């Protein structure tokens, strides 16, 4: 049986980053876009932990906790904004929300 190396984590992280980027660029639903951003942040977290383990330094793992905290705050603020937009525009489609247009 082959041991799990840093390369395996990097491949997983690249796959999550690709899925998240495609989700952000192609979807119109704001909830799906927010979930795709969370996938991208999780890809970053996997990279941080993998490289932290590779160089035998805890700095990356500690920084991952801060990224997770930031992701939770981003999700809470994003969902609050989404609820306010839904109450005003009655839609969650990104292309139908044009509050900043002249």
Q: pTM of the entire structure? A: 0.87
Residues 6+ apart with CB under 8 A from 60: 48, 49, 51, 52, 53
Q: By C-alpha distance, which of 27, 39, 28 is closest to 75?
A: 39
Residue 97 is predicted with a pLDDT of 79
- The angle formed by the CA atoms of residues 27, 45 and 67, to the nearest 5 degrees, is 85
Return averaged pLDDT per consecutive 10 residues of the chain, 102 residues in all: 93 98 94 94 96 93 94 92 89 80 66
Q: Residue 24 has which token pair?
A: 């952000």
């Amino acid at each position: 049986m082959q041991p799990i190396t840093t390369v395996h984590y990097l491949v997983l992280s690249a796959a999550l980053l690709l899925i998240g980027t495609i989700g952000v660029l192609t979807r119109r639903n704001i909830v799906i876009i927010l979930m795709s951003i969370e996938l991208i942040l999780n890809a970053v977290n996997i990279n941080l932990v993998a490289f932290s383990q590779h160089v035998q330094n805890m700095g990356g793992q500690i920084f991952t906790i801060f990224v997770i905290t930031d992701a939770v705050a981003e999700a809470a603020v994003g969902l609050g904004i989404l609820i306010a937009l839904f109450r005003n525009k009655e839609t969650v489609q990104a292309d139908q929300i044009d509050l900043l247009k002249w």
